[in-house]
Structure 1
Amino acid sequence: MTKNIFIFGAGYSGRAFGAMKPAETAIAGTTRSPARFETLRRSGIAPHLFDGKSLTPEVADALAEVTHLVVSAAPDDNGDPVLAAAAEAIRTGMPNVEWIGYLSTVGVYGDHGGAWVDETSECRPVSGRSRARLAAENAWAALGAETGLPVAVLRLSGIYGPGRNAFVNLEEGSAKRLIKAEQVFNRIHVEDIAGVLWHLIGADRGGVFNVTDDEPAPPQDVVTYAAELMGAEPPPEIPFETAQLSPMARSFYGENKRVSNARIKAAGYRFRFPHYRAAFEIMWRESRWKGEGAADARSPIRRG
C-alpha cells in the first residue's frame, strides 16, 4: 500500500522529514498559521490548519486516508492537544492507519548526575514541560494498546541543523560559552530525526527509542569548535553561577545525563551525523548552516 502520512505539528523536524519523502508517498501536515503554508509545500507537505483544539472537516477527511501518523505537537496546560482532538478519529475514523509516531524529549529522564541512561532508565522529569511530555507518552502508548496500533516514542535530545546551530549564534552575537563543571548534553541533527522516523515507518516498528548522537559533550566545546571552523574568536567563558539566563535556560543546566542511542542502532538505524563535529564540518563546507532562504552562508560574522 502507498504510504499516506500525516504530521500534527509540521515544524522544523516535520519539514526535514517531508523533505526526505520517497517517491509515491503522500505527506500532509498541520500548522497554526496560513502564512506557513508555502513553507510546508516547499518541503513536500500538503498544509492544513490545526488550532490545537478541534479538527477541521478538511483535516478529518485527510485523516481518513492516512496510513502513518506522526505527532510533533507539544503538550499544553490541558495535556496533549492532538490526543484530545484526534483520539476518537484514530479509533473510528482512520481505517487505514498502521502506525503512530510520537516525538518526545530526553528531558523525561530528568537529572541523573551525568550518568548514562537508556530506555529502561527511571524517568524522573524535573520541569513541567518534561512531565507533560512523559504523560503524553503514556497516553499515546495506552491508545496504541487499546487500538492494537504500534506506537513509536522518539525521545529527542537537543535539536540542531541548518538555521539552528552555533554558527548562527556566533554570527548573531548570541553564542555563549557557559562553564558548569561536568555538565554535558546530547544533541541530534534534524536530518537524523527524519531518518529515524522513515526507518521506523518502513518496518511499522513501535517502542521507545532515544534519538540522540553518540557523544554527550560540554556545551562550550560545541561553540568553540564552530568558531574554529569559522576562523572566529570564540566568546569569553562565563561561569554558570554568574551567567544571566532565563529561568528556562537555567533549568536545562539543572539536568545532567549521558543518553545512549544503542537501541535505535540495534534496530538497524545508522546515524548520518554521529556527533556534532561531523555535522558542523559538512554544514560549513557545503554552506548549509544558515538554512532555507539564506543568501550567503559564508558571510562574515557581524561584530558589535
Structure 2
Amino acid sequence: MTDTPVLLSLGHGFSARALTRRLLPQGWEVIGTTRSTDKLDALRDTGVTPILWDKDAIEAVLPKATHLLISAGPNDDGDPSLALVGDAIRARAKNLDWCGYLSTTGVYGNHDGAWVDETAGMTPTGKRGRLRVEAEAEWLAIPDLPLHIFRLAGIYGPGRGPFEKVRAGRAQQVVKKGQVFSRIHVDDIAQVLEASINRPNPGSAYNVCDDDPAPPQDVIAYAAELLGVPAPPEVPFEEAEMTPMARSFYADNKRISNDKIKDELGVKLEYPDYRVGLRALFKTL
C-alpha cells in the first residue's frame, strides 16, 4: 500500500458515500465516478475527487488506486464497470490491495422464511437476481483480483426510510402471511466494508444485514408510532397497489444470517434492528 491509500469508487452512490465519510478522516483519497457533469462539484464538496463515468477518465486514475469498490449494478448488457474498463481492471488486478463488489441478498432467491447464510446455493427467483449472480461470477473469474463480495439486504438510512411516505399518507401496511425481509442501515454497510479492508480475505462473500428480519408492515407501523400519527391501514398483498418491481420483492421470503460479518470481521452493528435504526433517523428529522 502507498503512504496514502486510494479508493476508486465505481458508481459512487449511497453506500459508497457512507464509506467515504469513514475513510476521509483517516487520510484516504477517494475517487468517485458520476455520470453527470452537474454532480461533479457536489461530489468535490464532500471531499471526493470526482471523475466522469468515462473509459479514459477511469483508466487514467486506476493505476493510483490501491482499493476498488464497485457499486454499479448489472443491466441487460452485463456488468457496466467490466463493460467499460474490464480490460484495465484485469491488467491492474494484482496491484490492488482490496476490491469490494456490492451485490444483493436477492441472489439466494426464496427460502420460505428459512435462515440463509453464505453457504446457501444461489437460486434467484427474478431477473435482477439472475443478473447479480452472473455479475458476481464475472468478477470472481478475474485472476489475481482480491475480490470480496457483499450481499446487501434492504438498505435504509438518512433520507432513505419510511418516514416521508408515512407523513405524506402514501405508505401502506402490506400484509403477506409469513413474509419477512432483512434490512441494513447504510452506516453499518460502511462499517462492514471498512472492517473487510482492514482484514482482507480475497474470495470471501458476506451477508450484510441486521439481526432482526421483520415483516414490512411492522416497520411502517413503528415509523408511524414514532411520528405520532395513525398507522396506515393494513392491505392484503393481493390487493395492494404496488409497482411490478416492488411486488417482485415479495417473491422472496428468507431470514438472512449475519454471523460471518461478526465472527470473521469483528463487526458490532450500530443499528442491530430496525427499531434502533428508525429511532436514530427520527432524531434527525
1:94 Cα shift?
A: 6.4
Question: 2:220 is matched by which residue type in structure 1?
Answer: V
Counterpart in 2 of 1:154?
150
Q: Tell me the SS of whatever aligns to 1:89.
A: helix
Moved more, 262-271 or 151-160: 262-271
Q: 1:274 to 1:221 in 2, by over 3 A?
A: same
SS state at 2:278 partner: helix
Residue type at the aligned position of 2:269: F
Counterpart residue number, 2:193: 197
Q: Give the deviation of 1:41 after TM superposition.
A: 2.4
Aligned to 2:22: 20
Question: Partner amino acid for 1:273?
Answer: Y
1:276 is matched with 274
Q: Which blocks of at least 5 consecutive residues in structure 1 are unaligned?
A: 288-296, 298-304
Identity of aligned residues (%): 46
The aligned counterpart of 1:293 is none
How far did 1:122 drift? 1.3
Give runs of aligned pairs for residues 79-158 of structure 1, distance below 5 A.
79-93=78-92, 96-143=95-142, 146-147=143-144, 149-158=145-154
Letter in 1 for 2:81: V
Q: 1:65 touches 1:96 (CA, 8 Å); kept in 2? A: no
Q: What is the distance in 1 between the residues matched to 2:31 and 2:11? A: 10
Alignment check: 8 A CA contact 1:66 1:97 kept: yes
Mapped to 2, the partners of 1:41 and 1:174 lie a distance apart of 35
Instruction: Determine helix, strand or coil for the equivalent of 1:205.
Output: coil
User: Partner residue of 1:44?
Assistant: 47
Which runs of structure 1 show a deviation greater than 3 angstroms over 4 or more consecutive aligned residues? 93-96
CA distance in 2, matches of 1:11, 1:48: 14
- Between the aligned partners of 1:274 and 1:108, the Cα distance in structure 2 is 23
Query: Which residue number corresponds to residue 73 of structure 2?
Result: 74
- For residue 294 of structure 1, what is the aligned residue in structure 2? none
Aligned-partner Cα distance in 2 for 1:94–1:138: 16
Partner of residue 184, structure 1: 180
Q: 1:264 maps to which residue? A: 261
1:36 to partner: Cα distance? 1.8
Pairwise CA RMSD: 1.4
Q: Is 2:96–2:146's contact at 8 Å kept on the other side of the alignment?
A: no
Length-normalised TM-score, structure 1: 0.89
Q: Which runs of 5+ in 2 are unaligned?
A: none
Deviation at residue 96 of structure 1 after TM alignment: 3.7
The one-letter code of the counterpart of 2:274 is: Y
Shift of 1:181: 0.4
State the match for 2:161 in structure 1: 165
| SS of residue in 2 equivalent to 1:64 | helix
Shift of 1:97: 1.5
2:171 aligns to what?
175
The match for 2:210 is 213
Q: Deviations over 1:207-251 (max 9, x none)?
A: 100000100000000011111111111111111111121111111
Equivalent residue pairs, number: 280
Name the CA distance, whole Å, in 2 between partners of 1:254 and 1:117: 16
* CA distance, structure 2, for counterparts of residue 82 and residue 199 of structure 1: 24
The amino acid across from 1:44 in the alignment is G
Contact 2:185/2:277 (<8 A) preserved: yes
Cα offset, 1:89, TM superposition: 1.1
Give the counterpart letter for 2:5 in structure 1: K
Report 1:24-35 matches (<5 A): 24-35=27-38
| 1:84 Cα deviation from its structure 2 partner | 2.1
Letter aligned with residue 191 of structure 1: D
- Per the alignment, residue 228 of structure 1 pairs with 225
Structure 1 position 95, deviation (Å): 6.8
Alpha-carbon distance in 2 for matches of 1:95, 1:181: 49
User: Which whole-Å CA distance do the structure 2 matches of 1:228 and 1:96 have between them?
Assistant: 51
Contact 1:66 1:94 in 2 (8 A): no
Secondary structure of the residue that 1:38 maps to in structure 2? helix
1:180-224 CA deviation, whole Å, 9 max, x = no partner? 100000001011111111111112233100000100000000011
Determine the C-alpha separation between the residues in 1 that align with 2:111 and 2:94: 42
CA spacing shift, 1:94–1:218, aligned 2, 3 Å:
closer
Q: Distance in 2 between matches of 1:13 and 1:179?
A: 29
